[in-house]
Amino acid sequence: MYKFEILTEDKNRDKIIAEVSKFFDGFSITEQIGYWKGEQEKSLNIMIVGRYSDSRKIDRIASAIQNFNDQESVMTLVSEIHES
């Protein structure tokens, strides 16, 4: 299993939730403070646990968020996790 994280500015939260919900039944969102080019901004960390094959869905979600939030970039992270 893999943990996917999408880090983005906290704008258009309803659109973000709707976009992620198109592809995944369950996910978590954590509010954070982030910095971009020296400027502080409210940020969201969207965490999704899935299979590596979900990577394309994650890329589609990140691209959609980048477009409707009008952001220069959206960070995505992937970590392998081990179940016990």
* pLDDT at position 53: 97
Average pLDDT in the chain: 96
What CATH number did the domain enclosing 70 receive? 3.30.70.120
* pLDDT at position 83: 77
For residue 20, with 0-12 CB atoms within 10 Å meaning exposed, 13-18 middle and 19 or more buried, which class applies?
buried
Instruction: Give me the domain span that covers residue 66.
Output: 2-80
| pLDDT, mean of residues 37-57 | 96
Number of domains forming the structure of the chain: 1
Q: Name which of 40, 42, 58 is nearest 50 in CA terms.
A: 58
Helix (H, G, I), strand (E, B) or coil at 10: coil
Confidence of residue 84 (pLDDT cuts 50, 70, 90): confident
| pLDDT, mean of residues 20-48 | 96
